[in-house]
Amino acid sequence: MSQLIHYDEEKKVFHLTNTYVSYIMEIVEDTYLIHRHWGKKLTHYNFSNRPKLKKRTFAATPNVLKPELSLEFLPQEISLPHQGDFRNSAVKIQNQNGQSISRFSYVGYEIHDQAIELQDLPFARSNESFGQTLIIHLYDKIAKITLDLFYTIFEDSPIIVRSTKVINESTQIVKIDKLLSASLDTHYDNQLLTTFYGTHQKEFQMTRSDIQHGLFKIGSTRGASGPQYPPFLALSKDATEFQGEVHALTLLYSGNHEENIERDQYNNLRVQIGINEETFSWTLNPKEAIQSPQALLVYGSQGFNSNSQAFHTFFNNHLINPLWKKRKRPIVINSWEMTYFNVSERLLLEMIDSASSLGFETVVLDDGWFGKRNSSKTSLGDWTIDEEKFPNGIKPLVDYAKEKKIGFGIWFEPEMISPNTDLIAQHPDWVMKSKSYEPILGRNQLFLDLTNKEVQDFIIKTLSDTITSLGVNYIKWDMNRHMTDPFSPTKMENHSIDFSHRYMLGLYHIVNTLTSKHSDVLFENCSSGGGRLDPGMLFYFPQTWISDNTDALDRQQIQYGASYMFPIASMTGHVSEVPNHQTGRKIAFETRAALASSTNMGYEMDIINMSGKERQKVANHLSTYKKERDLIFEGDFYRLSSPNESNMCGWMFVDEKKNNAIIYVFRNIYEVFDLSLLIRIPYLDTEANYLEMNTNTVYSGSELSACGISLENPPGDFIVHKLILEKVTD
């Protein structure tokens, strides 16, 4: 194995590098850590891009003998307030005098031949590939505080993992008011900024814009990563899906976050990501430490597809639980849109029979099975089986499903509590609320206080007992509202400014305990769909229900956007009824099936009362998907045509050796002037020929890449073309 981290003592330069990427920093004046390069692999570095410094009016100079040296325009790896750098800071530490001033200087480094595991947070996992971690030590000798910067690189990935740690080595209490995970400065070169926005049922909508002078910030203060602005930003210049450099950042965290891009008067860019400072503060007693969540810095040299491939590979190899990396995910039939709250023993028995005969692999009993849960207004927290709906309990249904050779799953919303429940009567102090005001309802429910260990233990015991007693193989974990009253009634000294992070630590403790204890159970993440679709949750839950919207038009944009980060096996999608329950649109089964087949696929519709013809369509679809599932889950995924920019949406799956490929092309509104459709198919072997199985026609890989393939454009809206390519070996 070769070293991935190098330090040149003479030049004072750190160089993190592998086959794919180089990340370079310089120690200036034996004090400051300065950013020099993040991007294409360099053989060596000799300061070719180091700017010539000059004295500037208004620039503060820490060394009067070098008036050209100012932190106002040095490209830093970490930024602090009150040092002459008037841009957005990354770390803010308040001393007992109430002053937020620090003076950190470089004092040394360590290199470890492994990734660093975080105790209470998700982290980039080690695997069989070699990895190294650089820890750079900065020290404030006045405050007696150490600031450690962590950088991990693996030999198999173009990703740098960053984190920040503060250690209080003084005898005084200090307060950490800001602790971002990554901050770096680079030169503005007409890059574009890509981010995502969204809402319930319309997640991961793309925005690509110019970068103006000033500070641009997105993030969340909702107590969750949120669909509004997921933790992602990317810089690119002249990049498309297929070419150009892309530099992207994300955060391994599921709570409040912020992403900043600042363009200053000298055309420098500062890029930052981490916990949102508006809802964060942390008291650090003497000898205590706190570490930020990890940030991922993701480089792609061949367009946004290459950047996404880096995300997908890294998430599969270094984030998702290794037990679920290669394990087949079951094709589920979920009860929700079939029954809503009106579930019953009779319906579930019929559902199991239909599911078994059609070829489903797991039946999921969604909301409505517990307490008196006939609407969203009641029973969360009272996780006892509704005996009116299930007079014989649920265990006989699980056993019956097993007799039919299929699994059984069940829905929970463990973080919530309904008013007027037995649980709230027994433990009113378990509800998240302030001392002076009644908490505000959201979706008719309140939050449980996950900073309270008794609440954590209750949730762990409730779910663990249910899993063990029923023998279910699947848990759908939902979370359907955001925080309005971030206070703990048992810890009134804690202001809301630290509660959100403590809540997230409590949540991570709960899900880590449950998923470790019940490692054979598939936990699916959900928050009204993609409300907490983030890399932090992916560490514990190998898949996420990415949207409550199953409409085959809206899902094109949602799945297209989510694929910028998330591998296909981690995104679930269902075939649902028409008219669609969210939009009222009527779209053909073939198109709906193709959209769902482009994910970790399941169904959410009435399979009991279907006609014989409808049953045959579903059975055929399930049979085909099972044959193609390995390619969809384990192959490489590439976007071909954006629904944000045209009337078409296209993507492809291709195996590692480029022997087999599946291409889906969706055309939405019929236009009479479009005589045919044309889609180019790169990412094939350009030296090989391919047989298109539907037409029994042979094309060269170079032809499909350069010329594309012409497809029929029949009248009618919302059609799909599916191409199946096999490499010709004769």
Active site residues: 478, 548
Q: Which residue has the tokens 């450690």?
A: 148
Q: Rounded to the nearest 10 degrees, what angle do helices 554-562 and 589-597 cross at?
A: 10
Q: How far is Cα 644 from Cα 673, in angstroms, rounded to an integer?
A: 20
Q: How far is Cα 668 from Cα 718, in angstroms, rounded to an integer?
A: 4
Strand blocks (E) in 76-173: 91-94, 105-112, 131-140, 145-154, 159-168
One-letter amino acid at 322 equals P
CA 155 to chain centre: 22
Q: How far is Cα 487 from Cα 497, in angstroms, rounded to an integer?
A: 9
Q: Which residues pair with 691 in a beta bridge?
A: 698, 726
Do 152 and 124 contact (CB within 8 A), yes or no?
yes
- Closest alpha carbon to 240 in 642, 556, 598: 642
Distances in Å between the Cα of 721 and the Cα atoms of 614, 654, 668 are 20, 17, 11
Do 524 and 477 contact (CB within 8 A), yes or no?
yes
Do 363 and 474 contact (CB within 8 A), yes or no?
no
Element (H, E) at 295: strand 295-300
Do 223 and 532 contact (CB within 8 A), yes or no?
no
State the Rg of the chain over Cα: 27
SS3 502: helix
Do 149 and 77 contact (CB within 8 A), yes or no?
yes
Q: How far is Cα 284 from Cα 729, in angstroms, rounded to an integer?
A: 65
Residues 6 or more apart whose CB falls under 8 angstroms from that of 390 comprise 344, 345, 348, 369, 397
Do 499 and 449 contact (CB within 8 A), yes or no?
no
Q: How far is Cα 450 from Cα 434, in angstroms, rounded to an integer?
A: 14
Q: How far is Cα 548 from Cα 532, in angstroms, rounded to an integer?
A: 12
